[in-house]
């Protein structure tokens, strides 16, 4: 099948040591094929049952994805792989993704699934921070009606301090600016034109914010 995704030797060399081989129960097998199949599903957006057979049984691939999601293994692996760096510039932004009507109904309700109602209908909002190269170094998901700036401090405080934090008008909050300054980061936030007192704004540095809106670098 064309357009199959396979982990490269370099990617696998970084990922293989992070696979939990010492947990109780059956040891995971065919890890490279199954993880490649999971990434393939994520990239093309097909149903689990339509996953190419070359990766293995679709039930095995789904069960691995579901079990490792429930146990927090994917999160642990991602945190180990991300190199947030230090100093320099970071950018923060968010985007809304429309939830399919079949997405609701899971355990915990819509709030637990980060699904909410906004002007775009049933949506999930993705909040992300990128380094100066445009690589995502942190992200979170919330219900779609969540304001951009509200989850920002919790997302940023886990990261190394940046010399500058770049953000658009949605993050123009006095409280958020104070949070950044207290961390030792300079806010480079586009001011809301309705402000009575416009804070300092570095237009040249702000141009670097486009990296978080550019296509993902793989």
- Indicate the domain borders of the chain: 9-81, 89-212
CATH fold for the domain made of 89-212: Nucleotidyltransferase; domain 5 (3.30.420)
Mean pLDDT across 28-55:
92
The confidence score (pLDDT) of residue 214 equals 75
Confidence of residue 217 (pLDDT cuts 50, 70, 90): very low
The confidence score (pLDDT) of residue 107 equals 59
Whole-angstrom Cα distance, residue 103 to residue 48?
15
Average pLDDT of the chain, as a whole number: 87
Using the predicted structure, report yes or no on whether residue 213 has a pLDDT greater than 80: yes
Confidence of residue 99 (pLDDT cuts 50, 70, 90): confident
φ, ψ dihedrals at 131, nearest 5°: -85, -175
**Residue 83 DSSP class:** -
8 Å CB contact between 131 and 90: yes
Q: What is the pLDDT of residues 148-199, one digit of tens each?
A: 999 999 999 989 899 999 999 999 999 999 999 999 999 999 999 999 999 9
Tokens representing residue 209 in the block: 């914010």
Whole-angstrom Cα distance, residue 30 to residue 82?
24
Using the predicted structure, report yes or no on whether residue 38 has a pLDDT greater than 70: yes
72: left (phi over 0), alpha (psi -120 to 50) or beta: left
Q: What is the pLDDT of residues 106-149, one digit of tens each?
A: 555 555 567 777 776 788 889 999 998 888 888 888 988 888 99
Percent of the chain with pLDDT over 70: 88
Using the predicted structure, report yes or no on whether residue 218 has a pLDDT greater than 50: no
Higher-confidence residue of 51 and 122: namely 51
Higher-confidence residue of 30 and 112: namely 30
């Amino acid at each position: 099948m064309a357009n199959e995704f396979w982990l490269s030797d370099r990617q696998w060399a970084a990922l293989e040591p992070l696979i939990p081989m010492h947990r109780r129960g059956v040891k995971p097998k065919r890890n490279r094929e199954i993880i490649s199949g999971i990434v393939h599903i994520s990239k093309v957006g097909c149903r689990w049952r339509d996953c190419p057979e070359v990766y293995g049984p679709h039930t095995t691939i789904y069960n691995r994805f579901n079990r490792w999601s429930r146990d927090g293994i994917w999160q642990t692996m991602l945190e180990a792989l991300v190199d947030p760096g230090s100093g320099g510039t970071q950018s923060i932004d968010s985007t809304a993704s429309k939830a399919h009507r079949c997405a609701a109904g899971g355990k915990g309700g819509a709030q637990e699934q980060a699904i909410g109602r906004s002007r775009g209908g049933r949506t999930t909002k993705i909040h992300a921070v990128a380094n100066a190269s445009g690589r995502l170094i942190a992200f979170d998901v919330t219900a779609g009606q969540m304001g951009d700036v509200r989850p920002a401090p919790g997302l940023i405080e886990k990261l190394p301090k940046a010399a500058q934090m770049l953000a658009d008008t949605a993050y123009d909050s006095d409280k958020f600016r104070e949070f950044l300054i207290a961390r030792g980061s300079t806010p480079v936030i586009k001011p809301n034109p309705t402000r009575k007192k416009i804070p300092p704004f570095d237009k040249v540095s702000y141009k670097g914010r486009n990296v978080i809106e550019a296509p993902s670098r793989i």
